[in-house]
């Protein structure tokens, strides 16, 4: 007795091959969409970093960020809950990278040296976009009175405490068993970052007397990484004074 097939003459093997091919195409499409989303998110964050570092948090608008990233404001809001949401996202991303960089430093380094080296490493490694992003974040994230920090405080996020606890946890993971030493390492590092950022912010935004204008402008234009290195060197000299 013979059987006849009505409809598709496709064999089971051919059907399986076709299904797998369709799945690969669909996976490739999803991969491209996700890559485009990541690229768009990165472009928005990079544009925000540049603008906020140059003109301050309060003076920077969502429209300016969107224009600089070459997206619409509607697209911006698909990725971030306003300018404030972007800042929180930036801060957490930087914090995660810093924590990992501290933990990965050589075990022979003293705690504060490891923190300093990790901060500088973030700003000097990776591609050009990553380096510029880290420099921009260092310029505005920790500035005293900066709109970004003030906004996070109003939202109850306690940004500096979060940074302090993250650094403290990182140096503890490296094997530092003294809680006081871990806490001091974190608080001193924050003091250095805030001092450098505040100095650059002040030189950029505030009017200065004519006789000090050149000095203030040089501070504003100086690489924040170089200022951080100099600040840690000054700290070391001050530490010698209390021995």
Give which of 214, 206, 44, 221 is closest to 139, Cα–Cα: 221
What is the model's pTM?
A: 0.66
Q: What angle do CA 210, 213, 214 make, to 5 degrees?
A: 130
- The helix or strand, by DSSP H or E, that contains position 73, with its residue range, turns out to be helix 73-79
Residue 209, pLDDT score:
44
Contact predicate 38/129, CB 8 Å: no
Examine the pLDDT at 1 and tell me if it is beyond 60: no
pLDDT-derived band of residue 91, with 50, 70 and 90 as boundaries? confident
Share the mean pLDDT of the chain.
77
CATH topology for the 12-241 domain: Tetracycline Repressor; domain 2 (1.10.357)
């Amino acid at each position: 007795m013979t059987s006849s097939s009505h409809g598709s003459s496709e064999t089971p093997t051919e059907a399986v091959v076709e299904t797998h091919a369709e799945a690969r195409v669909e996976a490739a499409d999803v991969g491209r969409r996700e890559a485009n989303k990541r690229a768009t998110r990165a472009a928005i964050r990079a544009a925000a970093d540049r603008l906020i570092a140059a003109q301050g948090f309060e003076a920077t608008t969502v429209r300016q960020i969107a224009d600089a990233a070459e997206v619409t404001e509607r697209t911006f809001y698909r990725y971030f809950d306003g300018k404030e949401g972007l800042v929180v996202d930036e801060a957490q991303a930087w914090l995660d990278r810093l924590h990992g960089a501290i933990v990965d430093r050589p075990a022979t380094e003293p705690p504060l040296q490891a923190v300093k080296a990790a901060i500088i490493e973030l700003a000097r490694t990776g591609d050009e976009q990553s380096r510029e992003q880290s420099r921009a974040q260092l310029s505005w994230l920790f500035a005293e009175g900066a709109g970004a920090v003030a906004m996070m405080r109003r939202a109850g996020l306690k940004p500096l405490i979060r940074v302090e606890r993250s650094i403290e946890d990182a140096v503890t993971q490296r094997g530092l068993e003294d809680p006081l030493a871990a806490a001091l390492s974190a608080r001193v590092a924050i003091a250095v970052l805030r001092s450098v950022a505040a100095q650059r912010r002040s030189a950029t935004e505030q009017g200065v007397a004519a006789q000090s204008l050149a000095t203030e402008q040089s501070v504003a234009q100086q690489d924040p990484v170089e200022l951080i290195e100099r600040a840690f060197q000054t700290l070391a000299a001050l530490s010698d004074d209390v021995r």
